Structure 1
Amino acid sequence: MTRTHPLSEGRGGVLVCFDGSEGAHTALWWAAAEASARDLPLVAAQSFEWDLPSLHAVDEHGEYNERLLRENAEQDLNRATGECREAFSGLTVFFATPDGPPEVTMVQLADQLDPVMVVAGASGRGALARMVLGSTAAELARRVRQSFVVVRGEPPAADAPVVVGVDGSDNSERAVDFALDFAEYHRAPVRAVYSWTDWPLEAYATAPPGQVGLTHVDESTQALAKEQLDTAAARHPDLGVDWEPVTERPTHALLDRAEGARLLVVGSHGRGPVTRALLGSVSHAVLYHAPCPVAVLRALDRDEEPVREDTVPGAEGLRTAPPRGST
């Protein structure tokens, strides 16, 4: 039988969103490999969003359908997480089945568990599978405070690099730190891409009078970005980091270099309440079009606090299933 554990046991691990789709299974295995590499617990969560008025309108028959639907979905999740546990020796795997829309419950779970990353597949069920990015993943990218990874593409080559966009901004610093940490866990090289068209607005405000031309802005922002990268790289002395300044639009530069990459990492710019509703144009474009997994680190407001509910509806605890074949 399944065992129930407090939510705290999954804190600081890897949280993956699951809906039974092919993309979700791919994301689950990717997340399991990442959790195993870091010796962290894996938490797989599947949300249940019920159409309560219609269910209650058909009384007992509707109640039974809801129960049966949940049982079948939990069996699928139990089976998938059990396979991950068998494949990755020593991996601790939990699952949770909260009630509510995933773009709400996953954010709540992330705030409670404070995972090192939240992972989702690139597409969902039905018509969403024909899209480059499923609507739930797109919404989570706008709401999740933690590092958010959308998984797509083929397994990378052994020497596949981690590609990161660098521009010298505060949010770029989050992206660089995440990219280098990720690369170190996987012993992968890093390609840091700086595009001269991707300037933080502060560069214009701090330029000396009469020196707001293209040359000054490019030199000052490139120096800031390079210093940001060098500072982070000093904490990873055994990591190979290539600095690549380019005169291309950042979206084109990053998408071109994402071919065959292990991971593409970007920060998402924005300020004020808009940050919570929109992604920057570069992060939005790479989420929809990158050929490899993409990590987005959203800009955070200083006054933005995590939503720390005491419990997530339907997910008062994490569960583990018995080993396959046991009774």
Structure 2
Amino acid sequence: MRVIIGVDWSDQAFAAVTQAFHLYHPADVTLVHGVDLGILNHPVVAQAGNVQGYDDFRKAMVDSGNQLLERAAAMVPSDVALIRKVNEIANPAQLIIDSADNLTADLVVVGARGRSRLSEVVLGSVSHRVLLHGTRPVLIVRGAARKIRRVLVAIEDRDDADRIAKWLMHHPFADPTELCVLHALVPIGVSDPYEALGTGTWWKDAERYADELVKSTADKLSNARYTVSTNVATGEPAAAIEQEAKGRDLVVVASHGRTGLSRFLLGSVSHSVVHHVTCPVLVLR
């Protein structure tokens, strides 16, 4: 398994490094640090700054990044066959995305600092941008690293279920894990007088479909490493996932690939989950 881990000097980044190895036993790890000089990257500012020690400042930032990568590399288990270190003057999120694409990474791991959804859109954050613009599966880590024992697997339809089941079987967790396969049925919001229109029959069919969906997914995931249960909840998917995620060590969801303004205006279950649950979230694509 090939993993890219974005690092900076924050506690969340170091937690992300530890969390990656609680979750998997990758053989190939790349630690990525982008040195963002902000306005100093502008050629005019840089040229003016040369007179005032710009080169020394730039070198100090790069040296600090190298020290950071050495510290992060010391956290990597000794049995990892290959460790790469990438330290460049670049936008951190874009450098992580480009590194993941260039190396055909199986997983990208980043820490999240807990900004609100609106502030992330306005101010930006590395985890937000990697999730929004990247094309690889992403593990978003909040808080301290933890052992992964109880996992919530949230599925919306058969496509979600197939993608998630394929990933979990191809990339098993490091330790035996309890999985709960969850599907949320969204109420149609009509009352009894509309029963004549057949809504009651439709709802029963939807319940049968949901029950069959979680059970068939559970069957695909049943093996020696996973103990699997199922749950069909009623409510908006993001809210149902947030409720069921309490007491879990990880949530697994699939992204439908909505990007940019449409994601912000229309919403996304995976994006909402990342912002509202307190445990790590694995977003598959």
TM-score (norm 1): 0.70
What residue identity is the alignment partner of 2:233?
Answer: V
Overall identity of the aligned pairs, in %: 23
2:30 to 18, 26, 43: 43
What's the RMSD between the two structures over aligned residues?
3.2
Task: Tell whether the 8 Å contact from 1:266 to 1:295 is kept in structure 2 after alignment.
Answer: yes
List per-residue Cα deviations over 1:115-167 (Å, max 9, x = no partner).
2210000128xx89xx8997221111112222101112344467x31111022
Task: Tell whether the 8 Å contact from 2:111 to 2:127 is kept in structure 1 after alignment.
Answer: yes
| Shift in Å, 1:275 | 7.8
1:313 matched residue in structure 2: none
- Count matched residues: 264
2:263 matched residue in structure 1: 278
What residue identity is the alignment partner of 1:93?
Answer: I
Q: Which has the higher contact order (CA 8 A, sep 6+)?
A: 1
Task: Tell whether the 8 Å contact from 1:77 to 1:95 is kept in structure 2 after alignment.
Answer: yes
1:65 matched residue in structure 2: 57
1:233 matched residue in structure 2: 221
Task: Tell whether the 8 Å contact from 1:31 to 1:42 is kept in structure 2 after alignment.
Answer: no
1:173-192 paired onto structure 2 within 5 Å? 173-179=162-168, 184-192=173-181
2:140 matched residue in structure 1: 150
1:100 matched residue in structure 2: 90
Gaps of 5+ in 1: 1-11, 200-209, 299-327
CA distance in 1, matches of 2:134, 2:261: 9
List per-residue Cα deviations over 1:256-309 (Å, max 9, x = no partner).
2222322100112356xx4896375321221011111001123xxxxxxxxxxx
CA distance in 1, matches of 2:242, 2:169: 19
2:155 matched residue in structure 1: 166
TM-score (norm 2): 0.79
1:55 partnered with 2:61? no
Change (3 A) 1:247 1:276: same
Gaps of 5+ in 2: 189-197
2:274 to 272, 284, 287: 287
List per-residue Cα deviations over 1:44-92 (Å, max 9, x = no partner).
10012332332222225212211111112211221231x214xx23224
Q: Which has the higher strand share?
A: 2
CA distance in 2, matches of 1:100, 1:72: 14
Task: Tell whether the 8 Å contact from 1:189 to 1:241 is kept in structure 2 after alignment.
Answer: yes
CA distance in 1, matches of 2:260, 2:42: 32
Out of 109-118 and 54-63, give the one that drifted further.
Answer: 54-63
